Structure 1
């Protein structure tokens, strides 16, 4: 049995949505507005039967009773029929309860404006990429991350060389000095964010819009998911721990090597580091996304925007017809200039 939650307005029982601009919850039916502290955590879940079918699950919408199809990692979505926002409670509770959430601060309207401005700055984009129906596909999604803090002890041994060259009269002198370099220290790393979702198509979106101001994270409350979609992690910390440890060791060596600046050449460096303390927490962080399949239905193109800072990234499709036409025109122009230049020369 699985729980589906729809957060309701205390005044009219309509669905509540979270507004990034006001950092409050509003009801589209009675137009009431509530701050987080105004809403009691008395949402009664609707117990429904979860039917596993391949990599999808079926839930019943608590508002209209329609079946909602979700992927294994979906934690919040909308009913496709009544558009009621629903939270799949079993995917944000128990072992999957996030330690914190960073609420959206950029509204959907502002995200769409930024998307149009960004796409218009690119060349050779298919016309239908700017269609209203395409822009309306923009979704606000909370993606899962592991937030890692760590303290390390590191030591570095290396060979450093300094070369001085000077000239007296017609004689040039060179002096080479070699040093044994030793660097030691304790290093602290804060908020190393790592993707907690294994889907390759979404990893680029998740990684491309960092950093996030994690100091603004709030204690998790499922009400922040209302009006947005959310993904549940499918990578446990142990699945990526070895990669994180390697990354921390790499950063340690880089910082210790940075302290050897001033030597012309560093060689035979040997670094050893030990992780003294390490902690990790599960966060949900906000991203606005637009995906585009195009005519070939190949790997999707995407636009992603950090839901707090506005950092953008994406991979856009290329209209081959426009590209060929532009290339042909450019080629004709170059050929014409060459012929014109030859005419004047000869």
Structure 2
């Protein structure tokens, strides 16, 4: 390591002792039972549930009071961990919260927050096992019409890697004042009996309010965002107050997209949502056919956030020397990813579509 890298390495504290009290192996969270389980001797133990109801789930945090809002520079920051089991010293990427020792395989859960970062306040635990993730993958790939039959038969996922990825959720009360034009179509018949559609335009303005609940924003830059969107939604109501026991045995990382940037992205997406909602409101109230030139300004009140760790299975498969990656939602089993496409099947689909269009055209012309 260079001198600069050495200066950036910090000693991290372990949050949780993942050692089995029976055989001293590493215990891990078991999605099938919701308990901590030793894969070697079968020892099981419950994860303690807080007595107070408000401590059982992640609580909304006041956005205005958040002290650390910036992004986290995972490319520079490093941390060193000394394994309790074998005393080996390993340098980790500072974004990692949980991993296993590369020398003896024991599970290690590091402190969830570092200097100048926030700690997660909630976790949605794995409910889908790696075996079930494989079954969901098989159903997914068999249902892809454009994927070659040979790929559907031969595609076998590599070993699954369970990860907890960081997400922000935002709540906000929105109040929007708007103005727009809306049009109503009418049919006009000329003296020759020909008909045409004309639109009468009117102006309108108004006020729209909506409470946005748990708008989800990914807080990592490491993974394909389009693929991550394909496995949404998550059941965010089924979250638990963060405990290191839930992430033991899995990879997990803290955020690289900070709270402030997360909120900027959320505001942009909420703006698009409000545009669609206000358009629908005008069409419904004015019995309009079209809405145009919608302009609105929005104020956000009572902004709160949660920092959640959400469960995802990662894997890949190989077909004709090419690797295709995919993800499985660790709560719902929903699959998203890449798969090979058969040019022949695409050509057949296009030809069938053209034949259907030609038949419809011929039917109307003959009428």
Give the TM-score range, shorter chain.
0.7 to 0.9
RCO comparison, higher one (Cα < 8 Å, 6+) = 2
8 Å Cα contact 2:325/2:337 also seen in 1:
yes
Deviation at residue 79 of structure 1 after TM alignment: 2.0
Aligned ranges 1:203-242 → 2 under 5 Å:
203-242=225-264
Q: Is residue 190 from structure 1 mapped to residue 213 from structure 2 by the alignment?
A: yes
User: What residue number does 1:289 align with?
Assistant: 314
Deviation at residue 22 of structure 1 after TM alignment: 1.2
8 Å Cα contact 1:3/1:89 also seen in 2:
yes
Change (3 A) 1:313 1:255: same
User: What residue number does 1:162 align with?
Assistant: 184
8 Å Cα contact 2:77/2:94 also seen in 1:
yes
Q: Deviations over 1:111-165 (max 9, x none)?
A: 122224434553277799846xx622x1110000001111110122111221322
Deviation at residue 92 of structure 1 after TM alignment: 7.4
Change (3 A) 1:212 1:93: farther
Question: TM-score w.r.t. structure 1 length?
Answer: 0.75
Deviation at residue 69 of structure 1 after TM alignment: 4.8
Cα separation, 2, equivalents of 1:302 and 1:153: 42
Question: TM-score w.r.t. structure 2 length?
Answer: 0.71
8 Å Cα contact 2:19/2:27 also seen in 1:
yes
Matched pairs, number = 305
Cα separation, 2, equivalents of 1:142 and 1:287: 6
Between 1:24-33 and 1:251-260, the stretch displaced more is: 24-33
| Structure 1 residue runs without a partner (length 5+) | 40-51, 331-346
Q: Is residue 3 from structure 1 mapped to residue 28 from structure 2 by the alignment?
A: no
Aligned ranges 1:262-301 → 2 under 5 Å:
262-291=287-316, 301=324
User: What residue number does 2:26 align with?
Assistant: 15
User: What residue number does 1:83 align with?
Assistant: 105
Deviation at residue 285 of structure 1 after TM alignment: 0.3
| Structure 2 residue runs without a partner (length 5+) | 1-10, 51-73, 349-367
Change (3 A) 1:127 1:84: farther
Q: Is residue 33 from structure 1 mapped to residue 81 from structure 2 by the alignment?
A: no
- Computed over aligned residues only, the root mean square deviation of the Cα atoms, in angstroms, reads 3.5
